[in-house]
Amino acid sequence: MAKNDKKHNGPGFPPAVPDESLNVPVLREEIATVFDPQGQIAEQFRALRNSIQSMNADGASHTLVVTSAVPGEGKTVTALNLAVSLSELPGVHTLVLDADMHEPSVEKYLGLPRRQGLAEVLAGQLTIDQAVRATSIEGVSIMGAGTRPQNPSELLGSDRMKAVINHLRQNHSYVVIDTPAALNVSDASLLGSMADGILLVVKLGSTARYHVQRTHNTLEALGGNVLGTFLVDANMPNIGKDYSRG
């Protein structure tokens, strides 16, 4: 193994190949919408999808940031399951954008190798279309985070990032953006201000209400539109949903 394989810096990852993952099956149980599409958890993600669809006057928030107050609350798993349930609708194509440049995990949950992605696009080394990869899930594509840059927040807050989201939005029905925890770094707030809506994932019994409220306030103070909270109960075989505004 080359000595830089495990590092996020250095020469980075190989270029993305758009179709190389088309036949890679999704094996992780957390991706319930694929693993157990008839099950209760998948059904709850469809309910989440329906709520999101019905919230905006034009029928949908097309660009959605998924974040949480603190790490490990279930953002990436929620982003992926939401994308799958959106793409179950006829004619819908969803892109999952991994904008967690600190600890990216979209590729990991899908069993895919790390490749160049958002970081290289923002650095002008890759076109958007070169960074978009098909998956084995019908209607779901991804753009990985790419090689970890020195200054993720600066890149994510740039006009170039706005242009990337707008371009992706034009070519997909939905863009679901996975981010780092909002209380740790400003990335989620920056991205939230560029997206149509923000979904705040809350792990039941682990995150203090105070932190959730503070995160909510911070996201909105920076111009974000918090659509609601999605409750994850890691101890239960199902996922709760509290979709009341605020």
Ligand X SMILES: Nc1ncnc2c1ncn2[C@@H]1O[C@H](COP(=O)(O)OP(=O)(O)OP(=O)(O)O)[C@@H](O)[C@H]1O
Binding interface with ligand X (CB under 6 A): 30, 68, 71-77, 100, 103, 105, 181, 232, 234, 239
Q: How far is the CB of 180 from Mg ion (least distance, A)?
A: 7
Q: How far is the CB of 4 from ligand X (least distance, A)?
A: 23
Question: Which CA distances in Å does 221 have to 116, 189, 218?
Answer: 33, 9, 5
Among ligand X, Mg ion, none, the one that 96 touches (CB under a kind-dependent 5 to 8 A) is none
Binding mask 52-81 for Mg ion (x = CB under 5 A): -----------------------xx-----
Question: Which CA distances in Å does 38 have to 24, 85, 91?
Answer: 21, 12, 21
Among ligand X, Mg ion, none, the one that 30 touches (CB under a kind-dependent 5 to 8 A) is ligand X
Binding mask 78-107 for Mg ion (x = CB under 5 A): ---------------------------x--
Among ligand X, Mg ion, none, the one that 71 touches (CB under a kind-dependent 5 to 8 A) is ligand X
Q: How far is the CB of 39 from ligand X (least distance, A)?
A: 12
Alpha carbons 117 and 153: distance in angstroms, whole number: 16
Alpha carbons 147 and 140: distance in angstroms, whole number: 22
Q: Which is nearer to ligand X, 103 or 220 (CB)?
A: 103
Q: How far is the CB of 148 from ligand X (least distance, A)?
A: 14
Q: In what order do the strands lie in the sheet with 94-98?
A: 133-134, 140-143, 94-98, 174-178, 63-68, 197-203, 226-232
212-222 b/e with 16+ CB inside 10 Å = b? beebbebbbee
Q: Which is nearer to ligand X, 77 or 121 (CB)?
A: 77
Question: Which CA distances in Å does 8 have to 115, 116, 127, 128, 185?
Answer: 11, 11, 20, 20, 18
Residues lying near Mg ion in the complex (CB under 5 A): 75-76, 105
